Amino acid sequence: MTMKVEVVSTETVKPSSPTPSHLRDFKICLLDQLAPPFWVPVILFYSASNNEVAANSASVTGNLKTSLSQALSLFYPLGGRIKGNSAIDCNDQGALYLEAKARFELSEVLLNPDINQLQQFLPFSSDKVVPNIEEQVIVGVQANFFDCGGIGIGICMSHKIADAASVSAFLTAWSKIALNGINGKAKVITPFLKASELFPPKDVNFQMPRRFTSREKLFTKRFRFDGESLARLRARFGSATPTRVEAVTALIWKSAVEAARKRPEWNEKYPSSVATHVVNIRSRMRPQPLPEHALGNLWQTTIAPLIDTNKGVELQDFAGSLRKSIRAIDDEYLSVLQGERGLTKAYESLTAARKLAESSAGKMESYGFSSWVKFPFYEVDLGLGRPTWVCTTGFPIGNMVFLMGTRCEDGIEAWITLPEHDMIEFERNDELLQFISLSLCS
C-alpha cells in the first residue's frame, strides 16, 4: 500500500531573541567550505504510547515551535542564510516549519521501512543538491502526525554548516528546551561556534569531487545487528578486538566484495577494493578535544589501503586495513590540517579514492562508510517521550553505507546501497547471515 504524507501548513520559525549585531557575520570554517551542498537528514518517530499529548496536535505543535525558536537563538547561525562560500548572514530569518498528516499507522513504517517512502517525512529531499543555496533556509523541520497518534519529526540541516554530530547537538538542545524551557532545570549547553578559528577559511574556488555514481539500478536496504550478534562478531577477531563499528564495517565490506566478485566481469575489471570512512575529529583534537556540540563539518574522510580481492582475504584483513586508516587521523594529521597546508590536506582526503582509481586504471571497487552510531538521537525527547525509531535517509549513492545506533543502545542498523546484482548476492552471504538480527529491541 502506498503511504502518502500531505503537508497541511508551512511557516517560518524565527529565533526567540535577535542575534546581536556584532555576531551577524558568522565565518564558516575551511571544512565547511569543502562540504557538499546537500542536506543532512534525520527522522525521529514517536509512538502514541510514548506520550499522552500525541492526539492534541495543536498542543504538540505549539511546544515544538516555541522550543525550536528558543533553540535557534542559541544556535544563531542556523537561523540565518548562507552568504557565498565563506560566511553566514545571521539575519534571524529563521527555519522552515511544516506540519503534515500521514493518513496511515506509524506501525506500517516501523514494520517495513522503505528509504523512498521515508523521504516524504522530511521537509527537503536529502538526495538532491541544494539549489540557490544562498536563498535557502539552513534548517527545515517537518512534524508528521499519524492517524494512530504517533508523530514523526523530520529535520534537514544544510551540510554547508553542519554534519551529523551538529544535527545531534542541535536536537539535544532543542529536546532539553522542549522539556524544561530555555531557563529550566536542565542545563542547556551553549554550542561551540569557533571552528573557523581552528580551521580558518581559505580562498576555495573549485568544485569538490563527488562519489562515483552507478548507472545500474540501485537498491537500499536496512540490515540490523543486535548486541549479542555484535559480541559474537567481535569475538571472531581474537585478541585484536575491534570496535563495534569497525567489526560491522569489516563484515559489510567483505560481504559486499564477495557479492561483487560474482559479476562476470569482476576479475578483469575490479581486482581490488578500497573503503573510505568518515571520521569525527572532535575528540581527536589536541591539546584540547572539542566538545561534541561544536558546530561545523568537523570530520575527515580516511581511506583504507587496497585489498587484493583475488587473494584469500579474511575478515581480520579488512578490519586491520580499516583500523590503520582511521588511526592515521592523528595529532600530526590534524596539525597540518590547521596550518597553511590545511586546504591541500583536506582536499587530499576528499580526492584520495578518486586518485587511487585513476592510478589503478579504474580497476577497483570503492565502498563508503559513515557512522552515526554514537550520536544520542534516542535521547531526544521533545515532550513526546523517547523515540521509538530514529533513521537517516542518507544519500542513495552506490556502494554507500550509513550506520545508525538503536534504541536499546548496543545494536547497529546499517543502511546499505548496492547495485541490484550485488544486493541479491549480498543478502545471500552465509557469513553475513550469521550476524543479522530479525529484531533489535522493543
pLDDT in tens, 355-397: 766 655 556 788 999 999 999 999 999 999 999 999 998 776 8
- DSSP for residue 294: B
Q: Is 22 an annotated catalytic residue?
A: no
Predicted confidence (pLDDT) at residue 48 exceeds the cutoff of 50: yes
Cα–Cα distance for residue pair 424/441, rounded to 1 Å: 27
Asked whether the predicted pLDDT for residue 134 surpasses 60, the reply is: no
Which of 102-116, 196-210, 251-265 shows the lowest per-residue confidence on average (mean pLDDT)? Answer: 196-210
What share of the chain has pLDDT > 90, as a percent?
Answer: 65
* 159, 226, 277, 422: the active-site residue: 159
Rounded Cα–Cα distance for residues 403 and 224 (Å): 10
Catalytic residue from among 92, 163, 226, 381: 381
All three cell numbers of 6: 500531505
- 32 is an active site residue: no
Q: Answer for the pair 275, 303: CB distance below 8 angstroms, yes or no.
A: yes
| pTM for this prediction | 0.92
- Specify the pLDDT at position 186: 60
Fold of 218-433: Chloramphenicol Acetyltransferase (3.30.559)
pLDDT score recorded for residue 442? 47
Q: Parse the chain into domains and list their residue ranges.
A: 5-198, 218-433
- DSSP states of 198-255 as a string? HS------SPPP-----SS-EEEEEEEE-HHHHHHHHHTTTTSPPPHHHHHHHHHHHH
414 Rama class: left (phi>0) / alpha (psi -120 to 50) / beta = beta
Q: Identify the band that residue 216 occupies on the pLDDT scale cut at 50, 70 and 90.
A: confident
pLDDT in tens, 221-257: 999 999 999 999 999 998 888 999 999 999 999 999 9
User: What is the phi-psi region of residue 149: left when phi exceeds 0, alpha when psi lies from -120 to 50, beta otherwise?
Assistant: left
CATH topology identical between 5-198 and 218-433: yes
May I ask the CATH architecture of the domain 5-198? 2-Layer Sandwich (3.30)
* Grid cell listed for 189: 549547553
